[in-house]
């Protein structure tokens, strides 16, 4: 399952940040999952409950933020939002666009618990 390896990478990143901040546990993890990231939110949530076990994030809540898709036109330079199944220039309707946002999987924020 692709989502499980994604989650394991995420947990490693979270553990590193928690260690840097001397956190005893992680309460909440907020992720941005771009609509074009290829990640299935439900599978990601399920994989997360497996990947977090025995880590500093064992009791963490996972919050997913979908985000939007943005494109830039190669012909007219127009930029704006586009829909998943309609990646067209918002200005001229051309299909030769570059996706500038929507493919990413990003760690947006972490709520850390420290013993201090």
Which residues of the chain form contacts with Zn ion (CB under 5 A)?
Answer: 73, 75-76, 78, 89, 91-92, 94
Q: Least distance to Zn ion from the beta carbon of 102, Å?
A: 17
Q: Least distance to Zn ion from the beta carbon of 100, Å?
A: 13
29 versus 73: smaller Cβ distance to Zn ion: 73
Q: Least distance to Zn ion from the beta carbon of 95, Å?
A: 9
CB crowding 45-66: b at 16 or more within 10 Å, else e: eebbeebbeebbbeebebebee
**Dist CA 107 CA 28 (whole Å):** 11
């Amino acid at each position: 399952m692709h989502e499980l390896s994604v989650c394991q990478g995420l947990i490693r990143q979270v553990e590193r940040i928690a260690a840097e901040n001397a956190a005893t546990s992680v309460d909440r993890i907020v992720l941005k999952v771009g609509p074009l990231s290829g990640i299935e939110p439900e599978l990601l949530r399920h994989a997360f409950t497996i990947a977090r076990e025995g880590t500093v994030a064992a009791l963490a809540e996972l919050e997913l933020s979908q985000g939007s898709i943005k494109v830039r036109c190669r012909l007219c330079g127009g930029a704006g939002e586009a829909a998943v199944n309609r990646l067209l220039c918002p200005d001229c309707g051309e299909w030769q666009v570059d996706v500038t946002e929507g493919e990413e999987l990003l760690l947006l924020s972490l709520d850390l618990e420290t013993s201090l």
